Amino acid sequence: MTDRVKRKLEVRPAGDAGPGDAVDPFAAFRDVEILDMQLAFAFRHSLGKLSRFFLALEQRVLLGTACPVCGAVWLPPRVVCPDDLAVTDWVELGGRGRLAVGSLSAYTLKTAGGERQLMLGYVEVEGATSLLLQQIRNADADALVPGLELKIVWSDRPVDHPMELFWFEPA
């Protein structure tokens, strides 16, 4: 019979029950269908209590939040410190940092036109305790090594999402 689902890649059986299992309660669920799907949808989303972070990006200001109890500085910001459960305070951070780890993504950012793969990195922004996952641009993928000094670069063009207002490049 011809497949009636155009996006079906394959149907494969999942593994059997483990050794010693007399009855497999999942026996009727062993065939796994694999589809190649792209989902596209639009939604309206409030940025809530963290809106100040995103509004500050429009002014080319990078904000984190600091715990008044332990002093941890969170970037991305957190309303409540996960360690002390204390309400945090806003703090301005600088525009430099170091790469903790980087990767070349197999995907593109559709809102930016999708013309190139993304280089992503967890960045140790000066003054922050936590790491920020953000785009790395104008660097060779081979240069994405831990400790690479980075600087923040701000977009001169309008963007679709506030996190596209900035990225990091080698300093």
Q: Given pLDDT bands bounded at 50, 70 and 90, which one contains residue 67? A: very high
What does the alpha-carbon distance between residue 40 and residue 59 come to, in Å, rounded to a whole number? 30
In a domain, 133, yes or no: yes
d(CA 117, CA 105): 6
CA distances from 16 to 10, 12, 19, 32 (A): 18, 12, 9, 12
Considering only residues 23 and 37, tell me which one the structure prediction assigns the higher pLDDT: 37
Which has more confidence, 45 or 135? 135
Contact 88, 65 (CB under 8 A): yes
Structure tokens at 111: 């809102």
Residue 9 CB partners (closer than 8 Å, separation 6+): 34, 35, 36
User: Does residue 91 sit within a domain?
Assistant: yes
**Per-residue pLDDT at 17:** 60
Q: 26 lies in a domain? A: no
Phi, psi values for residue 54, rounded to 5°: -70, -35
Give me the domain span that covers residue 166. Answer: 48-170
- In a domain, residue 123? The reply is yes
User: In the chain, how many domains are there?
Assistant: 1
Tokens 């010693």 locate to: 20
Note whether residue 40 is domain-resident. no
Res 77: pLDDT: 96
Q: What percent of the chain has pLDDT over 70?
A: 88
Of 25-29, 111-115, 130-134, 167-171, give the lowest mean pLDDT range. 111-115
Residue where the block lists tokens 């155009």: 6
pLDDT digits (tens, 9 = 90+) for 100-109: 999 988 766 6
- Per-residue model confidence as pLDDT tens digits over 111-144: 455 556 789 999 999 999 999 999 999 998 888 8
Let me know if residue 90 belongs to a domain.
Answer: yes
